[in-house]
């Protein structure tokens, strides 16, 4: 093989350039020869020597360049996209996306044609000459123009089809269809005819390996999300009035909206968290107004016979766009710009069938809500509120744990910092309640009650930014333990960029605003930093204006994805979503496409599970993250496999797989597994409302979850001991590994 490659390249002359690198458009017979490639050295006198000095590999425009050291050549080598690539392609239109995502079918070789072309022409084709003809075909303008007229417009698509066409010809050089053999013989041996004659064969080959090309118009139409308001025609038939209650934390904006909720004959509350939905459900019933509760994992009816009440408190994702209400309240409307969940707020804003819709949130969301109401024809009104109590920055940072006071909430942005802070507080004899995002709602409430209780010895709270919404806390002072957090930026190529970045002005205001609460012991609030270095950084962050929100999130529905998949053949859910996302049409003056990164990650976990695409869609919509750990990922996969096989997941199976009976944790690792176990039980309850027959033991699993809550709470109350135990174990393991 090396000899053949050298024979193809040894007589070619190299362009004399000012650069120490030269370029050679060569022919490589096989992927495997890439590693054996012998670079041919060339100086200005064109003296050639063989040396295997490969320096780097670069992909561009469908080709791969081998960069070699010093004055060695650069040879262009055509290899399958992705084989050696470290980066996915940036998004562009449908054809390019198909080439990057959808697997090409293997071309089916015609049967019984070996040697027929040679018998007709009386000559054998020379591979090198044929490849040169294809190279000329590639660069001919008239050829490219005809191919574009036939739908092959993107460079990446053309290159991938050409690569497959070359491989097909190379591997079947003696078994090509007779008419193609004759054409190639005329081009390469008899020097007559035109490479334009290869176009019909190239197009047939393209449809053979990419049958989706035949349905590109259908794919484009199906993925059109440019007019989302038209998806909700029942809402468009109403004369709706949108009232925006704008204001900072502790301004009374949600209180005023909920007054209309309670006064209405039929009303709906949509909250960002189940804790908020549960709080509204509880308080409304306490005031003598019957109100039901609906979350992904729980459905509670006031009526024992489960007849629906006129008032319903629910999470945003579970709200119905078909039921009619007099008044609806959408809380935390600024979440409409959230990269993961924003589409849920867009859906209820566009689709709720209510005469009055009260939206509550930051004033920064006014522009996008106003713009959307203009497209729907709804009436729009703004009510602005100021903060009810005083909030100011302390004169100096805390700097020492001895300066922590009763009513302080130390806000961190990682569990590691929570453990460290709790340990330092314990050293000086100060007890602390702990709240972070991964805890069950009941545990968060229990910790909040301890902190709020004036008779309890615990006067300090250590929390993540999870306190930003969903909990009523009597905080006197917010202490930012850091002003940086991990920012996960999702790139166009599908990768994630993790970096430490300053919190945004909006985040800082949301957290700082938790200090001071109207009608409590600490009406006036303060905020500061723990570290002196962060004090002026926080002041700078808060001095900036909050940028107005101009875009609302969208995502395709199950119906849209299912219809789209009909034109994608046997493509996986992940491939269907990637193609959909990269070719969809969105009105980018008002909307953006939510990333759905967790949805896609879950789809990868169950990619090989045999179930309908619609079932996969619902499974991947579950409120669970595989980032939470391997345990919850394995449970998610087990649930999906049993469901796909028609095997009900029973209470006994859940007990066995989740390690029941549950024991108090003795280390942080055990505590984290218990928290994931809670998520696994939550997932079961969520699925039980969507696949009733496959997850039949909802009540029993709910009791199991209730049994687990105090076990997790015990671990949180002994968090410092768990941290110390884990630290000692880690040190022992390190000593053993050294030995």
Query: What local confidence, expressed as pLDDT, does residue 60 receive?
Result: 36
Torsion angle of alpha carbons 94, 100, 105, 106, nearest 10°? Answer: 140
Tokens of 574: 């992940």
Regarding predicted confidence, which is higher, 500 or 689? Answer: 689
pLDDT in tens, 267-286: 999 999 999 999 999 999 99
* DSSP helix/strand/coil, 396: coil
Query: What local confidence, expressed as pLDDT, does residue 736 receive?
Result: 54
Domains, the chain: 2-84 (no CATH), 103-209 (1.10.1740.140), 228-384 (3.40.50.300), 391-543 (3.40.50.300), 622-738 (1.20.58.1080)
Query: What local confidence, expressed as pLDDT, does residue 110 receive?
Result: 54
Q: What percent of the chain has pLDDT over 70?
A: 81
**Inter-CA distances, 138 with 78, 122, 180, 184, 634, Å:** 13, 28, 17, 15, 48
* Bridge-based pairing state of the strands 267-271 and 324-330: parallel
Query: What local confidence, expressed as pLDDT, does residue 119 receive?
Result: 73
Torsion angle of alpha carbons 615, 618, 620, 624, nearest 10°? Answer: -130
Confidence of residue 727 (pLDDT cuts 50, 70, 90): low
Residue 463 host element (H or E): strand 460-463
The answer to whether 462 and 410 have CB atoms below 8 angstroms apart is yes
Q: Tell the residue number behind the tokens 């935390």, with chain if given.
A: 332
Tokens of 430: 């100060």
Distance, CA of 62 to chain centre:
28
The answer to whether 511 and 478 have CB atoms below 8 angstroms apart is yes
Query: What local confidence, expressed as pLDDT, does residue 337 receive?
Result: 95
pLDDT in tens, 577-636: 888 887 889 999 999 999 888 898 899 999 999 999 999 999 999 998 887 778 899 999
pTM as predicted: 0.76
Q: Tell the residue number behind the tokens 């007019």, with chain if given.
A: 227
Regarding predicted confidence, which is higher, 332 or 158? Answer: 332
Left (φ > 0), alpha (ψ -120 to 50) or beta: where does 354 sit?
beta
**Inter-CA distances, 317 with 330, 349, 391, 492, 609, Å:** 11, 12, 33, 26, 26
Picking from 313, 247, 212, the residue whose alpha carbon sits closest to that of residue 576 is: 212
555, pLDDT greater than 70: yes
Spatial separation of the C-alpha atoms in residues 58 and 42, rounded to whole Å = 21
705, pLDDT greater than 90: yes
The answer to whether 62 and 159 have CB atoms below 8 angstroms apart is yes
The answer to whether 160 and 97 have CB atoms below 8 angstroms apart is no
Mean pLDDT on 364-384: 96
Tokens of 456: 């309890």
Distance, CA of 60 to chain centre:
27
Regarding predicted confidence, which is higher, 676 or 486? Answer: 676
Picking from 448, 449, 487, 480, the residue whose alpha carbon sits closest to that of residue 465 is: 480
Q: How many CB atoms lie within 10 A of CB 621?
A: 18
172, pLDDT greater than 90: no
Q: What is the DSSP-derived secondary structure letter of residue 356?
A: E
Confidence of residue 176 (pLDDT cuts 50, 70, 90): confident
Spatial separation of the C-alpha atoms in residues 514 and 525, rounded to whole Å = 8
56, pLDDT greater than 60: no
Query: What local confidence, expressed as pLDDT, does residue 88 receive?
Result: 32
Residue 489 host element (H or E): strand 484-490
The answer to whether 390 and 517 have CB atoms below 8 angstroms apart is no
Spatial separation of the C-alpha atoms in residues 154 and 158, rounded to whole Å = 6
Lowest mean pLDDT among 134-138, 465-469, 562-566: 465-469
Query: What local confidence, expressed as pLDDT, does residue 568 receive?
Result: 80
* DSSP helix/strand/coil, 662: coil
Q: How many CB atoms lie within 10 A of CB 704?
A: 22
Rg over alpha carbons for the chain, rounded to the nearest Å, is 32
Q: What are phi and psi of 271, to 5 degrees?
A: -110, 160
Tokens of 196: 């334009």
Q: What percent of the chain has pLDDT over 90?
A: 55
52, pLDDT greater than 50: no
Most distant CA atoms of the chain, gap in Å: 102
Query: What local confidence, expressed as pLDDT, does residue 732 receive?
Result: 52
* DSSP helix/strand/coil, 631: helix
The answer to whether 372 and 552 have CB atoms below 8 angstroms apart is yes
Confidence of residue 106 (pLDDT cuts 50, 70, 90): low
* Bridge-based pairing state of the strands 299-300 and 477-480: unpaired
The answer to whether 73 and 42 have CB atoms below 8 angstroms apart is yes
Confidence of residue 113 (pLDDT cuts 50, 70, 90): low
Highest mean pLDDT among 118-132, 135-149, 198-212, 551-565: 551-565
Confidence of residue 570 (pLDDT cuts 50, 70, 90): confident
What contacts 723, CB < 8 A, 6 or more positions away?
A: 419, 422, 423, 668
Half-sphere exposure of 718 (CA within 13 A, CB side): 16
* DSSP helix/strand/coil, 179: helix
Mean pLDDT on 453-460: 91
Query: What local confidence, expressed as pLDDT, does residue 497 receive?
Result: 61
Tokens of 620: 């991947």
6, pLDDT greater than 50: no
Query: What local confidence, expressed as pLDDT, does residue 99 receive?
Result: 52
Query: What local confidence, expressed as pLDDT, does residue 626 receive?
Result: 80
pLDDT, mean over the chain: 82
Tell me if the bond preceding 618 is cis, omega within 30° of 0: no
Helix, strand, coil tally for the chain in percent (to 5) = 45, 15, 35
The answer to whether 530 and 481 have CB atoms below 8 angstroms apart is yes
Regarding predicted confidence, which is higher, 102 or 425? Answer: 425
Picking from 656, 631, 639, the residue whose alpha carbon sits closest to that of residue 694 is: 639
What is the C-alpha end-to-end distance of the chain, expressed in Å?
51
Query: What local confidence, expressed as pLDDT, does residue 91 receive?
Result: 40
């Amino acid at each position: 093989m090396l000899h053949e490659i050298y024979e193809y390249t040894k007589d070619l002359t190299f362009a004399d350039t000012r650069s120490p690198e030269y370029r050679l458009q060569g022919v490589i017979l096989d992927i495997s020869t890439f590693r054996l490639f012998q670079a041919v050295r060339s100086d200005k006198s064109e003296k050639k020597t063989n040396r295997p000095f490969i320096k780097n590999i670069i992909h561009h425009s469908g080709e791969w360049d081998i960069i070699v050291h010093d004055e060695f050549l650069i040879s262009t080598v055509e290899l399958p996209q992705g084989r050696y690539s470290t980066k996915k392609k940036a998004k562009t239109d449908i054809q390019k996306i198909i080439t990057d995502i959808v697997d090409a079918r293997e071309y089916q070789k015609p049967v019984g044609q070996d040697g027929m072309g040679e018998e007709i022409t009386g000559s054998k084709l020379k591979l090198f000459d044929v490849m040169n003809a294809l190279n000329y075909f590639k660069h001919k303008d008239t050829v490219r123009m005809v191919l574009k007229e036939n739908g092959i417009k993107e460079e990446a698509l053309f290159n991938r089809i050409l690569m497959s066409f070359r491989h097909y010809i190379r591997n079947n050089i003696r078994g090509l269809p007779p008419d193609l053999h004759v054409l190639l013989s005329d081009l390469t041996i008899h020097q007559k005819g035109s490479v334009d004659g290869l176009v019909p064969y190239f197009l047939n080959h393209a449809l053979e390996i990419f049958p989706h090309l035949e349905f590109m118009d259908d794919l484009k139409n199906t993925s059109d999300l440019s007019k989302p308001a038209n998806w909700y025609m029942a809402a468009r038939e109403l004369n709706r009035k949108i009232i925006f209650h704008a204001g900072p934390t502790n301004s009374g904006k949600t209180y005023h909206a909920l007054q209309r909720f309670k006064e209405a004959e039929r009303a709906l509350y949509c909250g960002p968290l189940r804790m908020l939905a549960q709080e509204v459900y509880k308080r409304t019933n306490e005031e003598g107004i019957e109100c039901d509760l609906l979350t992904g994992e729980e459905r509670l009816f006031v009526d024992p016979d489960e007849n629906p009440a006129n008032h319903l408190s629910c999470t945003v994702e579970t709200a119905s766009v078909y039921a009619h209400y007099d008044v609806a309240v959408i809380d935390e409307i600024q979440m409409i710009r959230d990269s993961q969940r924003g589409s849920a707020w867009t859906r209820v804003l566009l689709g709720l069938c209510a005469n009055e819709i009260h939206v509550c949130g930051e004033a920064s969301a006014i522009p996008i809500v106003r713009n959307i109401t203009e497209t729907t024809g709804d009436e729009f009104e703004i009510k602005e509120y100021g903060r009810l109590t005083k909030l100011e920055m302390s004169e100096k940072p805390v700097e020492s744990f001895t300066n922590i006071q009763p009513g302080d909430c130390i806000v961190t942005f990682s569990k590691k910092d929570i453990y460290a802070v709790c340990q330092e507080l314990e050293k000086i004899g100060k007890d602390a309640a702990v709240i972070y995002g991964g805890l069950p709602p009941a545990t968060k409430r229990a910790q909040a009650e301890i902190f709020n209780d004036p008779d309890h010895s615990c006067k300090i709270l250590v929390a993540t930014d999870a306190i930003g919404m969903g909990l009523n806390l009597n905080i006197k002072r917010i202490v930012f333990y850091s002003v940086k957090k991990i920012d996960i930026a999702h790139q166009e190529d599908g990768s994630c960029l993790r970096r430490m970045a300053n919190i945004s002005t909006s985040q800082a205001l949301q957290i700082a605003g938790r200090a001071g609460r109207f009608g409590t012991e600490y009406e006036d609030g303060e905020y500061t930093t723990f570290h002196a270095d962060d004090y002026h950084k926080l002041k700078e962050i808060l001095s900036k204006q909050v940028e107005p929100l101009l875009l609302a999130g969208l995502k395709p529905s199950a119906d849209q994805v299912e219809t789209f998949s009909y034109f994608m053949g046997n493509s996986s859910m992940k491939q269907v979503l990637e193609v959909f996302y990269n070719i969809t049409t969105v009105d980018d003056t008002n909307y953006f496409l939510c990333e759905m990164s967790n949805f896609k990650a879950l789809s990868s976990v169950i990619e090989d599970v045999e179930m309908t695409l619609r079932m996969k869609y619902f499974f991947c919509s579950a409120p669970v993250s595989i980032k939470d750990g391997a345990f919850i990922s394995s449970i998610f996969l087990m649930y999906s496999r049993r469901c796909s096989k028609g095997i009900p997941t029973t209470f006994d199976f859940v007990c066995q797989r989740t390690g029941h009976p549950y024991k108090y944790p003795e280390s942080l690792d055990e505590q984290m597994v218990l928290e994931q176990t809670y998520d696994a039980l939550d997932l079961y309850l969520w699925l039980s409302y969507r696949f009733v027959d496959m997850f039949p033991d909802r009540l029993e699993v709910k009791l199991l979850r209730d049994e687990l809550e105090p076990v997790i709470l015990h671990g949180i109350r002994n968090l410092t001991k768990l941290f110390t135990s884990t630290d000692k174990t880690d040190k022992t393991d390190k000593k053993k590994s050294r030995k």
